[in-house]
Structure 1
Amino acid sequence: MSAVWNFFTVCESDIKFASCNTCNENIPRGGSTSKKFNTTNLIRHLKSKHLAEHGEILRLTADNEKKPATVRRQRTQPALGNTRPYECDSQKAKQITHKIIEFIGLDDQPFSVVEDARFRRLLTHLEPSYMLLGRKYFSNVALPELHQTVYSFIEGLLKESVSSSVSFTSDIWSSDVSPVSTLSLTAHWIDAGFQLQRAVLHAQEFSGSHTALALAAAFEQMFQTWHIPKDRVHVILRDNARNMTKAMADAGLPSLGCMAHTLQLAIHDAVLSQPSISDIVAKGRRIVGHFRHSPLAYARLQSEQKQLGQLTKRLQQDVSTRWNSTYYTLRSLLEQKRALGVYAADFELPATFTSSQWDLTENTTLLLEPFEELTKEICSSTASAADVIPSVLVLKRLLAKDAAADHGVKTTKATLLEAVSKRFADIEKEPLYSLATIIDPRYKDKFYPEDAVKIETHRQLLRLITKASQRDPNQEAEASNTGPPAEKVPRPGSFSSMFGEILAEETPRQAHTDTPGGPAPSEMIVYLSEPPIPRSASPLAFWKTNKERFPDLAKVARAYLSAPCTSVESERLFSAASNIVGEHRNRLMTEKAEMLLFIKKNLPMMLLNKSNKS
């Protein structure tokens, strides 16, 4: 008799159906006569609705299964003859099984690892009494159970942050080894302790055409799944594709373009498309390719580097879709200029630079150096939407200044300034950017190019804190008794040094916060009158320390500083996805791939949370 009948009873009124003992639902037995009855539908019901009962069936039938491809218990050999095996339902056995599925999820291991002889041998040595279950158990039972545990943990965190808005990033990825597109959704929020939290909510299959209508429907469904109302969506960071932009508008979701993508477009339009620069980039690729595809040539180059007393470094290969990789290629060629010259005197190269091209390469890298510094900063885990307006203003200032290295790239520099101005036109008038900037204590209202923008931002902030206020409006904020810590002095003429120059030329001004409804709250006046904290300091650490002094402003900060300025988190997610859906696992079911990715990205946060509480 099948073990499934431990959980079902044949319906007395109609033997074609079986009643679930857990939920009382009547399930068809798969036929119209007794000869055609089977238990397939009953097992599917348990698998989809009652994972614990389904797991029990697998445990009950494991000992009787003889085919190697089916689920079975694999009894480890006891180290001592009298060692008694753990019961499957014992606490110790469950803990070990749980650790194994965590290992599979976090380390990108295939489910078949539990059938590997060396892995079983290791478990036998570590715990002879543990009875190892088969691959299908971990795939069909342990994985969904762990996924549900992590899902509930993330759901709880999101509910705890109900008083604050949540920001999101999203992107679409297509695997090279599987004809499946994946749509991601990553949440970013600041908890009550002013710690930035991130969680992957979805990395789901997105089939069919990537139209704006289909994307809008997908986002609607994803937010409904997590019970996130649209009024809690602060902003979604996306790429600059038209279909994604229109999808956000159609779904009624606030969105912003990825700053890194916008920089890529500006640099490509103004720099990499210039004939003289594209020529040195093409030559550089041929030179790098020569050494990458010839171990003998690379060995000879290494020998030249050692003779010249240089470090043995490989030349960097660029990727056409990432401008900074082209920058690294040109810089690596400059570093190896002498070694390449000596090599070319003895061996043949597919291309060489002229003297003027070497000068152009050097000046181009100097021109792009601030962009490379900025790209690193905005792609960091601490970057936020508050960095956009100050960074763009600094870029414009640097591009507008004359420098000794402008020889040969003056036209390119002017074109780059024009491209940056065009791509980031009127960003200071976007409330999501301007309010994030003013609520960041590193910037406040010191980086607005026009007084009119500053005045309007003050008024927008006043409306927000008035709405957030739940206390006596006459309550006074205490003045700060401690000054900001000293900041490291950046290199003159660098991207970082320009921030200091802009702050130095700013003169203190009265906040334009009076409205027909009355003057600004005292906490807003005090906050804006204090000098900005060093740029290297943490804005979240500031708000954690000063949330009692500025309670209403702190509420605004939790929403506006949660938004990143790029969709890099989604790109990092897809890097993890490429490890899960690889050449050796290209037939992995989409549902399980999403579970594994969800666990890999979110389980570390759950484990850290448990560790902090213990």
Structure 2
Amino acid sequence: MSAVWKYYLLDSPQSDTAKCNVCKAVVPRGGRSVATYNTTNLIKHLQKHHPKEHDEFLATKGLKAQTSRQESLLQSFERQGKLSPDNVKAKEITEKVLNFIVLDDQPLSVVENEGFRSLIEYLQPRYSLPSRRYLSETALPELYNQVSTKLADKLKAVPNLSFTTDIWTSDVCPMSLISLTAHWIDRDTYGLCCAVLQVKKCRGSHNRATIAASITEMLNHWGISLAKVHVIIRDNASNMKAAMQDMSVSNLGCFAHSLQLVVNEGLISQRSVSDALANSRKIVAHFKHSQLAQSRLEDLQREMQGAGTTTSPSRLVQDVQTRWNSSFYMIKSILKEKRALCAYAADHNLPATLSANDWALLEKTAAVLEPFEELTRKISSATSSAAEVIPAVTILQRLLTENTSTDSGIKTMKSTLLQAVNRRFSDIESQPLYAVATLVDARYKDRRGKALLIQELEKVEQTLTDEAGTTVAEPAKKIACMEAGPSTGVPPGSTKSSFSSLYDKILEEHDEPAGGTQAVVTQMQMFLKEPTIGEADSPFQYWANHHARFPLLAAVATKFLSAPATSVESERLFSTASNIVDEKRNRLTAERAEMLIFLKKNLLMFK
């Protein structure tokens, strides 16, 4: 008997209609006699007027709505069979699995994990996961070669490259790696590009000869001549400096490293400040090492936040001796929880206490270090360039020179910071890389580098003349007649930080350029007379919009603005390395580690 009769009643077995139990409607049974009666009309009535009961009817009968035709025997066989390794779909899945391993720092052995295998089996039952050995020895090298070839082709069209380099030593295995990261500006889009070229095993002592030989070998591997090297940004270690001298390449120290040395000198110069920092460090360590103390502090924080507050209590930040900005963050976290810490000290013991004078010193120290912290974040960004160094140093000097009412108690520290800035960056304006980069950056256009820029522009002009066989003076005359484009400026209603608010004054304090050839001077005078763009605006976008008006300047800009101010990109690279070469993969070879790091940083560039 059909399950549909659960929803209908018959007056008699011979009745040609049935009454719906839900809506009491009378529904014809179809047919002309008892022998030809059927349930089609009854089921359609449920489907049209009573979807819920219709679904129950289907579930009772174990039926499913079918929207497609029945599979053929061949289709059924293909659905049940496994995909061959050469199947297009299987290759695509294998590629996605390898991308997952590379981009998410997963071990190659993840394909042997039960949970991952179960997931893949559920998503695609017909797919067979490749072995770890296949991924390591076949799939990974193939993908590495594909990306390497594409990157090599892209670099051939770049006339000048800037580089950053650094050395990393693993904590979990005897492996040292030296990196070489390339930076350039795309001539079509004027976008800033960055790619890891190589992460080579550095054997033996890290002396000048070893470093120079390693970097030279990496450049030769990519077919990059020394004439194509604009600059190499390295750390301030003596072995790095000596290696660059041996290679006879233009090189500069990492601005962030130099800035860190400046701040470290200032923090240890005044005994009262260093003592307050030491006591703060002990207090934070106390809560880091004691769960009971941390719980008590959190209770006090919640009590002071008041009832109904849903935000979690903030935790104190522990500083790291090798990173000065971590000391700044520790001071800020201590000051933020001042009330809770004082309340805790009233009832519980602490390894150190902060007096009223200590609290005042910490507040003043944080105020002095805040511009340094802002600058460190600014120059460590992926879009930072060497053009930001001279303006940054100028601002720091001016801020540290100003006398304020809050200097009491930290005058020695502030004076030491100023002396350190003057000493470490005394020759910064005479460095062609910094001076010219600042001058072609539409945010700053510092005219103090005018003589160096004229020399560089004349070189570019001569190069263009030699290559094209024609002079560029006539196009320059036409450019001189063009109207200056509108300045981007600062968006209405925007505000500037304490660090950046002095830029506008400094940019107005320099003379107009003079000398040079007609094409050079024409373009440079037009460029310098235009208003600067906003500090938050992109100099790369400026040249994308104006390169046709200033072709000589644009050529110089693509060369000099490609150089970063710091070697942070190489340092970030080794944060990736520490995630790849970890406790679970401490037997990974340097060759495999290089492939994984290379693909992690470059794969998405060609997707």
The reply to whether TM is greater than 0.5 is yes
Task: Determine the structure 2 residue equivalent to 1:486.
Answer: 490
**Do structure 1's residue 272 and structure 2's residue 271 form an aligned pair?**
no
Task: Determine the structure 2 residue equivalent to 1:511.
Answer: 513
2:289 to 287, 293, 297: 293
How far off its partner does 1:202 sit? 1.2
| Farther-moved stretch of structure 1 (234-243 vs 524-533) | 524-533
Task: Determine the structure 2 residue equivalent to 1:501.
Answer: 505
The aligned runs of 1:22-61 (5 Å cut-off) are: none
Q: What RMSD over aligned residues (CA atoms) do the two structures have, in Å?
A: 2.0
Structure 2: which amino acid aligns with 1:538? S
CA deviation string 1:456-497 (max 9, x = no partner): 234334424423544531222122242323346776881111
Task: Determine the structure 2 residue equivalent to 1:524.
Answer: 524
Aligned in 2, Cα 1:231/1:184: closer, same or farther, shift over 3 Å?
same
The answer (yes or no) to whether the contact 2:444–2:503 under 8 Å persists in 1 is: no
**Do structure 1's residue 112 and structure 2's residue 133 form an aligned pair?**
no
Structure 1 unpaired stretches of 5+: 1-77, 449-453, 608-614
1:237 partner SS: strand
**Do structure 1's residue 231 and structure 2's residue 227 form an aligned pair?**
yes
TM-score, with structure 2 as normaliser: 0.82
How far off its partner does 1:81 sit? 8.9
1:130 partner SS: coil
Distance 1:110 1:483 in 2: 50
Structure 2 unpaired stretches of 5+: 1-74, 466-470
2:601 partner SS: helix
**Do structure 1's residue 191 and structure 2's residue 186 form an aligned pair?**
yes
How far off its partner does 1:272 sit? 3.0
Task: Determine the structure 2 residue equivalent to 1:425.
Answer: 426
2:154 to 133, 148, 157: 157
Structure 1: which amino acid aligns with 2:569? E
1:298 partner SS: helix
Distance 2:531 2:456 in 1: 18
Task: Determine the structure 2 residue equivalent to 1:392.
Answer: 393
How far off its partner does 1:178 sit? 1.3
How far off its partner does 1:280 sit? 1.2
1:201 partner SS: strand
Task: Determine the structure 1 residue equivalent to 2:123.
Answer: 126
The answer (yes or no) to whether the contact 1:283–1:351 under 8 Å persists in 2 is: yes
The answer (yes or no) to whether the contact 2:487–2:532 under 8 Å persists in 1 is: no
How far off its partner does 1:355 sit? 1.1
The answer (yes or no) to whether the contact 1:150–1:603 under 8 Å persists in 2 is: yes
1:263 to 238, 259, 265: 259
Distance 2:157 2:464 in 1: 20
How far off its partner does 1:325 sit? 0.3
Aligned in 2, Cα 1:207/1:561: closer, same or farther, shift over 3 Å?
same
How far off its partner does 1:125 sit? 2.0
The answer (yes or no) to whether the contact 2:489–2:532 under 8 Å persists in 1 is: no
Aligned in 2, Cα 1:455/1:121: closer, same or farther, shift over 3 Å?
closer
Task: Determine the structure 2 residue equivalent to 1:539.
Answer: 539
Structure 1: which amino acid aligns with 2:410? V
2:80 partner SS: coil
CA deviation string 1:254-283 (max 9, x = no partner): 110000000011111222343222211111
Task: Determine the structure 2 residue equivalent to 1:408.
Answer: 409
Distance 1:492 1:220 in 2: 44
Structure 2: which amino acid aligns with 1:234? H
CA deviation string 1:564-593 (max 9, x = no partner): 000000111000000000011111111111
Aligned in 2, Cα 1:146/1:458: closer, same or farther, shift over 3 Å?
closer
How far off its partner does 1:518 sit? 5.6
1:256 partner SS: strand
1:474 partner SS: helix
Aligned in 2, Cα 1:488/1:290: closer, same or farther, shift over 3 Å?
farther
TM-score, with structure 1 as normaliser: 0.81
Distance 2:454 2:78 in 1: 80
Task: Determine the structure 1 residue equivalent to 2:6.
Answer: none
Which entry has the higher C-alpha Rg, 1 or 2?
2
CA deviation string 1:27-54 (max 9, x = no partner): xxxxxxxxxxxxxxxxxxxxxxxxxxxx
The answer (yes or no) to whether the contact 2:520–2:552 under 8 Å persists in 1 is: no
2:282 partner SS: helix
Distance 2:450 2:442 in 1: 18
Distance 2:460 2:438 in 1: 15
Q: Number of aligned residue pairs: give it.
A: 518
How far off its partner does 1:118 sit? 2.3
The answer (yes or no) to whether the contact 2:389–2:565 under 8 Å persists in 1 is: yes
1:171 partner SS: strand
The answer (yes or no) to whether the contact 1:186–1:199 under 8 Å persists in 2 is: yes
Distance 2:389 2:560 in 1: 13
Distance 1:81 1:152 in 2: 37
How far off its partner does 1:309 sit? 2.0
CA deviation string 1:101-158 (max 9, x = no partner): 1111111112221122222222222222223221111111111111111111211211
CA deviation string 1:403-457 (max 9, x = no partner): 12111111211111010000111100000110101011111125x4xxxxx4523
Distance 1:96 1:591 in 2: 25
The answer (yes or no) to whether the contact 2:183–2:563 under 8 Å persists in 1 is: yes
How far off its partner does 1:83 sit? 1.8
Distance 1:259 1:397 in 2: 18
The aligned runs of 1:306-455 (5 Å cut-off) are: 306-309=302-305, 312-446=313-447, 448=448, 454-455=449-450
Distance 1:148 1:321 in 2: 38
Distance 2:487 2:357 in 1: 51
Structure 1: which amino acid aligns with 2:600? K
**Do structure 1's residue 181 and structure 2's residue 176 form an aligned pair?**
yes
Distance 2:455 2:429 in 1: 13
**Do structure 1's residue 585 and structure 2's residue 607 form an aligned pair?**
no
2:165 to 159, 164, 170: 170
2:473 partner SS: coil
Structure 1: which amino acid aligns with 2:295? A
The answer (yes or no) to whether the contact 2:487–2:530 under 8 Å persists in 1 is: no
| Farther-moved stretch of structure 1 (272-281 vs 186-195) | 272-281
The aligned runs of 1:125-144 (5 Å cut-off) are: 125-144=122-141
Task: Determine the structure 2 residue equivalent to 1:565.
Answer: 565
Identity of aligned residues (%): 47
The answer (yes or no) to whether the contact 2:273–2:410 under 8 Å persists in 1 is: no
The answer (yes or no) to whether the contact 1:490–1:497 under 8 Å persists in 2 is: no
Aligned in 2, Cα 1:341/1:261: closer, same or farther, shift over 3 Å?
same
Distance 1:290 1:190 in 2: 49
Distance 1:126 1:85 in 2: 13
**Do structure 1's residue 96 and structure 2's residue 93 form an aligned pair?**
yes
